[in-house]
Structure 1
Amino acid sequence: MAMAKGLGHAGAKIVVNERTSLEKVNSAVDEYKSEGIDAHGYIFDVTDEMAVIASIKKIEAEVGPIDILINNAGIIKRTPMIDMEVADFEAVIKVDLVSPFIVSKYVVKGMIERGGGKIINICSMMSELGRDSVSAYAAAKGGLKMLTKNMATEWAKFNIQTNGIGPGYFATSQTAPIRVDGHPFNDFIISRTPAARWGEPEDLAGAAIFLASKASNFVNGHVLYVDGGILATIGKPSNE
């Protein structure tokens, strides 16, 4: 939501989608509009090719051309590989990796016709690192990193820039229970991150605005990690 607000305050029209919940979509749209952002909401499943095709046509007819696409749909299933069901692994891959391919494939057609556009894939530090119990997520995000590079390879000649954002660990409602002093994971993140803090959602807004703007017109196939420096170091930051 912070990325959408950042783009909205920078002048972009915002279109959000949800798979089934009209209530969630309306709530998000109302929040954006309360801040003066031109926002619209749609219900469709980004893993359903036919639904994506129909929804893109509807959005472009009702709102306007899609000049900026952010592929941020994602799920995670925290299960050790030895215990993970194949169906669960495939479900994560379908949402986190296949859906960006589907949506981009059909949005990019209009971008090519109009002479340019911006695609931003939401990757992860798991695009670079492994971690216990997130094999499907890491596989999908690693794949998304390479899909980003291949999108750039094929579409840069059409003045389309495809890049990724790789968030680190952020302070959200989902992480609130583990962000208390003394919690082992909170202490680990604080000590592991050179910035010595969790990221704030607003920290992602600048990256999104940059990659969606003319300022990034010669940036292509890059993943911008917004992680407070975690990927830059292999050890605990010095206290000196």
Structure 2
Amino acid sequence: MIKVILHGCNGKMGKVLQNIIQEDNEMEVIAGFDQNKSNEPVDFKIYTSPNDCDLKSDVIIDFSHYTAIPSLLDYCVNTKTPVVVATTALGDDEKKLLLEAAKTIPVFNSFNMSLGINTISKMLQVAVPIFEENFNTEIIEKHHNKKVDSPSGTALLLADSINKACLVKKDYIFGRHGKNDECKITDLGIHAIRGGSLPGEHTVIFAGPDEVIEIKHTAYSKNIFAVGAVKAAKFLANQKPGLYSMEDLI
């Protein structure tokens, strides 16, 4: 049985993870970390700070806030606990901390835990070399009006996957405006739409002479991210120190 601690256990994804793991006979949640309180009863103890926890887990799954990552990584390094970091909007400072922690413990990080999105990322590695020379490439992402970061981490994940496969690296164009906005073949447009209760949707468009190819993914619930995080946790529990991603899992 893999013992799990949930970081951000009282958040929306933390609660989804609780339900997913409850149905999994290979894992159990033994504790949670969260600075925010919840009135919903749980069958494990919740700590406001990782340093207050005296329980040892096999892996930690994190869906929290980027500001909480430094203290979490300190705890994981000190206790030699593998960690799945699924928090989005990480900056350069947090990414450096991930690399440093990975020298000591197994660290898993992805902008998106969906198996579907990460499969599309691999598909792009095949498509891009075929379309690069003659097709313009654009990414459109849609989310509900509560999402505060734009473009989404997933849009950037897909953009980086495209650029990785390009012979000539593309320039990211975040939105388009102006009267002299030349659309170059080396541009990669990334556009964010926010409104209402839109589900998470990402579309990669290859627009060429007389034909258009679209690769689209729609997330209808948060379950897909929880399922991916659980798979990542099972994968990570027995790995050596290092930085891992969905590419390693898939």
Looking at secondary structure, tell me which structure has more strand per residue: 2
- When normalised by structure 1's length, the TM-score is 0.47
* TM-score normalised per structure 2: 0.45
Structure with the larger RCO, 1 or 2 (CA within 8 Å, 6+ apart) = 2
Higher share of residues assigned helix: 1
